[in-house]
């Protein structure tokens, strides 16, 4: 199947340069630091969830929306970044993203109650949503293919380690300060990144004249929102008695309408997300693989703190420190996995990573009140190693075969579906945990035993989902980039 794209000339249309100049490295470094800061906030609420539930008088099912709404906002806003990267300069997108993130952080820091904290997370996420596609598209534009594995390994530090150490950061902060300081301490770092970027960041490429299809943007809300909200209501009666499956059904129908609209917009070359990227088999397989990995990652970072604090009675600081080794291991492995990818290709790495994923999730489904702390840390480190072996090969293998005209769309699609998977996984696993726990308590089981059973069931579900990663990894193979705008025949 051959496809040709005629997108307007954009930042992402440039052919990758030969060796990366010092100026190019500076651009990537600035974007890496800023992206790390904003993505850290994806999971910074997870260790704080028990404290927030008590302080704000909300249930676990309600409180988890502070994380889920962040991911869901990313899923809704990221598709528009393909348009933004085509219409605005690198500096304009960067400044807009950091201003939004900083504003949301300030609002969250002064929020008196849940009703203001939740929209503050939406504003934060709107800025975060712009940063990752900007980073990936810039790398694909500036970095030659022979060095992409190493550079994408550094990106792995951002996209996986930042969420992984979010619980550690919040645990340390909560031990010494009220929960508001999770935002107060981040704000000056974000403002410093903004000021440094305004001074040092240079534009990459030339903006085009792309137009935003408002209808497509509107459809993303019920499409992604319906699916994620429906999953969050599994095991509970929804608002007005509407069952969870009804919301999921609405989401699926809206997603179908969104896809149909994008196909119609191919004629005018103005889709919000150019879904022709899915005509490249490596891209499709990589997206599915990374989505499975995100379910595991976000399931772990929200369920494990709940288990440690509510079931085992461990404090926020100790919880955060227990999760630190895994985050550090993932960070250290990112660039090394990138080098291995450049040398050996993706299949062996992703097979190792996916098997470790399944084993770790299965073992977490067996934890009980007497599981040694060292074993919990070891399982978490093992899971982190598995994720490190998945993220870099997945990203690079999926994006390499796309023509330059699809770089921004490909990175936006990949980022969008990753966040949807993370949000859906969080909502589903927390719903399973909460539903099982509530049912057992209604039958007279103690709160601790009921919570433990719910967590075991949720981790068992994550293990089953992770099996799909093993199957997908078997189909991974080395891909080569396409020069120009014509897409290659794929097999």
The domain that holds 300 is classified in CATH as 1.20.1250.20
| DSSP conformation class of 366 | T
d(CA 227, CA 445): 31
Percent of the chain's residues with pLDDT above 90:
23
**CA-based angle 221:222:223, to the nearest 5?**
90
Q: Within this chain, do residues 261 and 290 fall inside the same structural domain, yes or no?
A: no
**CA-based angle 142:138:152, to the nearest 5?**
80
Mean pLDDT of the region 245-249: 88
d(CA 21, CA 28): 11
Q: Between these two residues, 411 and 257, which has the higher pLDDT value?
A: 257
Q: What is the pLDDT of residue 485?
A: 38
Tell me which residue has tokens 């379910």.
Answer: 295
Q: Within this chain, do residues 90 and 233 fall inside the same structural domain, yes or no?
A: no
Q: Within this chain, do residues 408 and 327 fall inside the same structural domain, yes or no?
A: yes
Q: Within this chain, do residues 227 and 197 fall inside the same structural domain, yes or no?
A: no
Q: Within this chain, do residues 433 and 398 fall inside the same structural domain, yes or no?
A: yes
Return all residues near 56 (Cβ < 8 A) that are at least 6 apart: 63, 113, 114, 117
Mean pLDDT of the region 433-453: 89
Mean pLDDT of the region 427-436: 86
Q: Between these two residues, 300 and 464, which has the higher pLDDT value?
A: 464
Mean pLDDT of the region 117-127: 92
Longest dimension (CA), the chain: 67
Q: What is the pLDDT of residue 323?
A: 82
Model confidence pLDDT, tens digit, residues 277-286: 898 988 999 9
Q: What is the pLDDT of residue 44?
A: 76
Q: What is the pLDDT of residue 457?
A: 94
Q: Within this chain, do residues 113 and 228 fall inside the same structural domain, yes or no?
A: no
d(CA 42, CA 23): 30
Q: What is the pLDDT of residue 23?
A: 62
Where is average pLDDT lowest: 133-137, 257-261, 441-445? 133-137
Q: Is residue 485 situated within a structural domain?
A: no
Q: What is the pLDDT of residue 164?
A: 66
Mean pLDDT of the region 317-334: 83
Model confidence pLDDT, tens digit, residues 405-423: 787 778 778 878 887 888 7
* Beta strand ranges found along 26-70 (DSSP E): none
Q: Tell me what the pLDDT averaged over the chain comes to.
A: 81
Greatest mean pLDDT among 13-17, 40-44, 469-473: 469-473
Q: Is residue 75 situated within a structural domain?
A: yes
Q: Within this chain, do residues 138 and 258 fall inside the same structural domain, yes or no?
A: no
Q: Are 490 and 284 in contact (CB under 8 A)?
A: no
Predicted confidence band of residue 487 (pLDDT cuts 50, 70, 90): very low
Q: Which two tokens stand for residue 481?
A: 């980039």
Would you call 4 helix, strand, or coil by DSSP?
A: strand
Tell me which residue has tokens 């409180």.
Answer: 63
Characterise 457 by phi-psi region: left (phi > 0), alpha (psi -120 to 50), beta (else): alpha
Give me the helix-helix angle, 281-306 and 49-56, nearest 10°.
60
pLDDT beyond 90 at 372: yes
d(CA 93, CA 178): 33
pLDDT beyond 70 at 50: yes
d(CA 61, CA 74): 20
pLDDT beyond 60 at 13: no
Greatest mean pLDDT among 7-11, 51-55, 396-400: 396-400
Q: Are 304 and 149 in contact (CB under 8 A)?
A: no
Q: Within this chain, do residues 445 and 407 fall inside the same structural domain, yes or no?
A: yes
Q: Within this chain, do residues 249 and 370 fall inside the same structural domain, yes or no?
A: no
Percent of the chain's residues with pLDDT above 70:
86
Q: Within this chain, do residues 207 and 231 fall inside the same structural domain, yes or no?
A: no
The boundaries of the domain holding residue 353 are 11-212+272-473
Give me the helix-helix angle, 373-399 and 148-156, nearest 10°.
140
Q: What is the pLDDT of residue 105?
A: 93
Q: Within this chain, do residues 232 and 183 fall inside the same structural domain, yes or no?
A: no
Q: Is residue 491 situated within a structural domain?
A: no
Q: Is residue 479 situated within a structural domain?
A: no
Q: Which two tokens stand for residue 89?
A: 């300069």
Q: What is the pLDDT of residue 19?
A: 40
Q: What is the pLDDT of residue 17?
A: 39
Where is average pLDDT lowest: 57-71, 93-107, 447-461? 57-71
Where is average pLDDT lowest: 98-102, 258-262, 328-332? 328-332
Q: Give the chain's domain count.
A: 2
Q: Between these two residues, 30 and 365, which has the higher pLDDT value?
A: 365
């Amino acid at each position: 199947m051959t496809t040709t794209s005629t997108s307007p000339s954009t930042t992402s249309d440039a052919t990758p340069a030969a060796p990366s100049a010092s100026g190019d490295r500076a651009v990537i470094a600035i974007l890496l630091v800023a992206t790390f800061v904003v993505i850290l906030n994806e999971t910074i609420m997870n260790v704080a969830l028990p404290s927030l539930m008590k302080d704000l008088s909300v249930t676990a099912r309600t409180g988890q929306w502070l994380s889920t709404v962040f991911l869901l906002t990313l899923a809704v806003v990221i598709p528009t970044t393909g348009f933004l990267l085509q219409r605005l300069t690198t500096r304009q997108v960067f400044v807009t993203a950091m201003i939004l993130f900083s504003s949301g952080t300030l609002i969250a820091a002064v929020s008196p109650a849940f009703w203001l904290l939740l929209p503050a997370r939406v504003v934060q996420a709107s800025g975060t949503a712009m940063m990752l596609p900007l980073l990936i598209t810039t790398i694909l534009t500036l970095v030659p293919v022979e060095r992409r594995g190493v550079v994408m390994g550094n990106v792995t530090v951002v996209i996986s380690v930042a969420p992984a150490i979010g619980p550690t950061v919040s645990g340390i902060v909560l031990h010494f300060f009220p929960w508001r300081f999770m935002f107060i301490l981040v704000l000056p770092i974000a403002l410093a990144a903004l000021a440094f970027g305004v001074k040092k960041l240079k534009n990459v490429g030339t903006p085009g004249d792309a137009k935003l299809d408002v209808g497509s943007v509107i459809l993303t809300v019920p499409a992604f929102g319906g699916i994620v909200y429906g999953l969050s209501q599994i095991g509970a009666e929804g608002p007005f008695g509407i069952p969870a499956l009804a919301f999921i059904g609405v989401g699926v129908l809206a997603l179908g309408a969104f896809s149909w609209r994008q196909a119609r917009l191919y004629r005018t070359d103005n889709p919000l997300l150019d879904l022709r990227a899915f005509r490249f088999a490596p891209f499709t397989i990589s997206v599915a693989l990374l989505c499975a990995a995100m379910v595991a990652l976000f399931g772990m970072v929200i369920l494990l703190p709940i288990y440690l604090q509510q079931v085992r009675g461990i404090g926020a600081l100790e919880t955060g420190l227990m999760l630190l080794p895994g985050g550090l291991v993932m960070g250290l492995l990112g660039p090394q996995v990138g080098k291995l990818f450049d040398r050996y290709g993706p299949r062996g790495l992703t097979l190792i990573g996916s098997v470790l994923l399944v084993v770790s999730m299965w073992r977490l489904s067996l934890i009980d009140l007497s599981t040694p702390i060292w074993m919990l840390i070891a399982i978490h480190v093992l899971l982190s190693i598995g994720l490190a072996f998945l993220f870099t090969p997945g990203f690079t293998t999926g994006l390499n075969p796309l023509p330059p005209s699809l770089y921004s769309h490909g990175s936006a699609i990949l980022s969008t579906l990753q966040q949807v998977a993370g949000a859906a996984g969080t909502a589903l696993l927390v719903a399973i945990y909460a539903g099982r726990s509530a049912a057992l308590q209604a039958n007279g089981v103690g709160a601790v035993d009921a919570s433990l059973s719910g967590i075991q069931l949720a981790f068992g579900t994550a293990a089953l989902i992770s099996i799909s990663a093993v199957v997908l990894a078997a189909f991974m193979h080395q891909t080569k980039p396409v020069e120009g705008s014509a897409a290659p025949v794929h097999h």
